[in-house]
Amino acid sequence: MVFCSDYEITDDILTIRKARMWCWFDGGALHDRWTTNCVSGISTFGMSDEIGEGFEITTAATSPNRGSINFCATTHYNCDGAIAIGITRSTEATSRGMAVGLSRDCCPLSGSGCSQVVLCGDTGACATNSTLLTACSGCCFTATSTCVAHNEVFHTYKIQLNMCDATVTIDGGCILATNSCNLPNQPLQPIFIITTRTAATRTGQIRYFEAYNT
């Protein structure tokens, strides 16, 4: 089948995806829509030298050093109607926190409820070895386990923000977690975060990110 545009490969031409963006992390440098941020400590940022491993963030070797990329507070995405899709991994399965999703702030703090976020990953919201869906309203958070254990493999995380809840799927298929409490109430921006929880560096890699309003 021949398509008139790349858009029509996955969407009917009459379906308008508001503020839709997608980004393959390839080539020699990070696209200028993204901003790097050393949330805590000094992280290093750059394209991976390995084929297909995208852009990577490596933390300093002191817990809880943390680095992120974000849209520098350009908050295009609705808190009550948006989808974020990220293909990410951490190169280590233990003593790290990795998350992808949408955030109000450029420097969200995990676990403390300081930032408005909806993230999927090991966010530090509670001590667990499973991937979490975490929602935070700016003062309180709710973390729900997907029952998917941490590993070093690339996964596709799809977060959907609705009027009354947030859901996540991993690598397609059925919804693995739903949060209906402590949802953000302000516009959000894309974000990817990696944290070390030990006296060693930790590396997070992102291959693809997509977001749009629904």
* 58-73 pLDDT tens trace: 999 998 899 999 999 8
Residue 67 is assigned to a structural domain of this protein: yes
Residue 10 is assigned to a structural domain of this protein: no
Residues 6+ apart with CB under 8 A from 114: 108, 136, 138
Q: Name the pLDDT band for 126 (thresholds 50, 70, 90).
A: very low
Query: How are beta strands 55-58 and 44-47 bridged, if at all?
Result: antiparallel
Task: Find the mean pLDDT for residues 160-179.
Answer: 95
User: How far is CA 58 from each of CA 87, 99, 118, rounded to the nearest angstrom?
Assistant: 17, 14, 22
The Cα 148–Cα 174 span in angstroms is: 13
Question: Mind listing the pLDDT tens digit for each residue in 178-193?
Answer: 999 999 999 999 999 9
Domain with 73 in it:
16-213
Identify the CATH number of the domain in which residue 183 sits.
Answer: 2.60.120.200
Q: Which pLDDT score, from 0 to 100, does residue 192 have?
A: 96
The Cα 169–Cα 179 span in angstroms is: 13
Q: Which pLDDT score, from 0 to 100, does residue 5 have?
A: 54
Number of domains the chain contains: 1
